[in-house]
Structure 1
């Protein structure tokens, strides 16, 4: 893990911490020595690594599976975090029976937590959990049959949750929470779909990564849920490239994509609805580590290049945090707090990154990081770059959104 300032081990919200200097080397894998204020938990089978934390659409709540901490076989139960108050706190939501480790939990903006349980190889049940005084209430929602069901991120309305259910030649989209009565079928999309990124604040436009029946490359498409699941292209960087959408910001239109159009998988960025090409910054090329964006700074209307982006960096030394702006062309690497629920976090409009973590002495806490200050660089107005301007042969227009139902437009009939 790259060096960085220690994070406090007290409950609550940590103060702002300075960033590392750009270009700080990442040391080889080793067991870090304990530092003042940071709990170091040695790996071992008796201490399972904490599962990821899932955030509600408005970032007011989070949820995860956790254990009671006893030795031996872990006993999993859901836990809800409240993040919109003066200090974060956790509420356990156990039932009479422990949960399976593969269960999914997802918080809604009203404070309830959706849980998906696999009760058979091809059957899933859905319930809403909520605190009721000293106990936990449960509202059963229904059942869906299918082997490879996956939940999508919470709908922007804060109460709806969709799931993908792949079939032989198409993928069903189901509303599993927020409907009138149990799971409701919303649409069928030809091909096998994965991913799932919301493109608007109204919960109408959903981006999916799709592979058509019979094979071929993976391409990101837009599904219009108000037009019966109408599908339009989103990413088409090269005819045979695999182009996936990882993250999008509805305010600025900034898109974070992964594509092998440059010859191998690279992280790139573009702008929703723009005719400008996708760019693949050299600073996001890390041969010895994997980069995954997980949060974009909101509220930067018409300024996608100024949005701060948080990335999870996974390398031989563990997981840490990358901070980057398209305009800055510089990846800042900072140490994550001990017990960071890796890949979880969110930005405020004024550029403060909130990183939830749980460690000994701080079972529910949030560390804060300021967005990096970069010297702005002019962004090229044309040309597709694999390394900030180097052309990629055979590349077509990368974000063909002129026919997509964006910015109030609808595709011609």
Structure 2
């Protein structure tokens, strides 16, 4: 299953929360919720998703949490919490111990005034990473899973954001890096001391961001202004074909953001179902799309959907978490609709003179050849 941490507010009424994140294997999720009993106190909540029915376990500490605390589920069922205390960022693992909550302190990062945010759950489920973004550089920290508390992995030139895992081992991490007035996706090799390689280079002057990646098929969901304005596109890791920007993903007066890719589609990235969040003045709903089909299916979201969160099964079922007063922990399973007339894969483009606004192939993929970017670490 493929899912990412989504830092968006939930539409759950009295049981609402923020920061819903799902482990890479789909077993657990976590969010910060507010007590519906009248105290209005914030506390972490863990969801178990791999059983017959989902269920939630509250993990309140000795004192209420701040509403901007970050939470991240781990593969063993514990929940990482990130608390800010002045300029220090403290981390701990929470776990249920009967009627109480156990807490294992992991240490703190002194990031000064730098902004620090948790990255999406690692594929191995045992490590957690965070970015501390400063004015001109970004520090990548291992905040859980290290031998002696938080460890600095590398320091990168520029301001980094985003975060998508490119493999199943937790070795290759993609980040969007703003440097010299342009934002480009780069890959960071965590086993080579944070070595950085170019990942997206559609044109020299374009801003190319990686939104989602699937390790099985290599499918990449990209946002770029290479066509002249921001467009949602797709490519394949290591492919020589250009990034494509489907017209069906352009909606008038609505923002379209991918949040989950169907896993298990090895060697057939065009067949992967992609779930998208569609936001407009009238609310949020679901889009389902496949690169091969070139058709966007639009579906109503369940009441109380934790907007922007969900995961696919390899069989093509989209699981959407939602919370209402009547169902405070629930999943809605939505089978991916078939495309009425799937289009064949696009043939390789004919050679043509380069043009400034025309997308060109993806840059050298970091898993097939390394071209290190100088000036990092």
Same fold at TM > 0.5: yes
Instruction: Name the structure 1 match of 2:54.
Output: 88
Cα drift, residue 68 of structure 1 = 1.7
TM-score, normalising length from structure 1?
A: 0.83
Instruction: Name the structure 1 match of 2:329.
Output: 364
**Root-mean-square deviation over aligned CA pairs:** 2.0
Aligned pair partner of 1:318 in 248, 268, 283: 283
1:166 aligns with 2:113: no
Instruction: List alignment gaps of at least 5 residues for structure 1.
Output: 1-39, 385-390
Instruction: Name the structure 2 match of 1:276.
Output: 241
1:293 aligns with 2:258: yes
Rg larger in 1 or in 2? 1
Matched residue count? 357
Q: 1:91 to 1:410 in 2, by over 3 A?
A: same
1:118 aligns with 2:87: no
Work out whether residues 227 and 359 of structure 2, in 8 Å CA contact, stay in contact via their aligned partners in 1.
no
Cα drift, residue 352 of structure 1 = 0.3
TM-score, normalising length from structure 2?
A: 0.90
Instruction: List alignment gaps of at least 5 residues for structure 2.
Output: 1-10
1:176 aligns with 2:154: no
Cα drift, residue 157 of structure 1 = 0.7
1:195-249 superposed Cα distances (whole Å, 9 cap, x missing partner): 111000111111110112xx32100011111111111111111111110000000
Cα drift, residue 396 of structure 1 = 5.8
Equivalent residue runs for 1:154-303 within 5 Å: 154-212=121-179, 215-303=180-268
Work out whether residues 275 and 397 of structure 1, in 8 Å CA contact, stay in contact via their aligned partners in 2.
no
Instruction: Name the structure 1 match of 2:8.
Output: none
Cα drift, residue 286 of structure 1 = 1.1
> In proportion to residue count, which structure has more strand?
2
Work out whether residues 57 and 108 of structure 1, in 8 Å CA contact, stay in contact via their aligned partners in 2.
no
Distance 2:357 2:235 in 1: 18
Work out whether residues 276 and 381 of structure 1, in 8 Å CA contact, stay in contact via their aligned partners in 2.
no
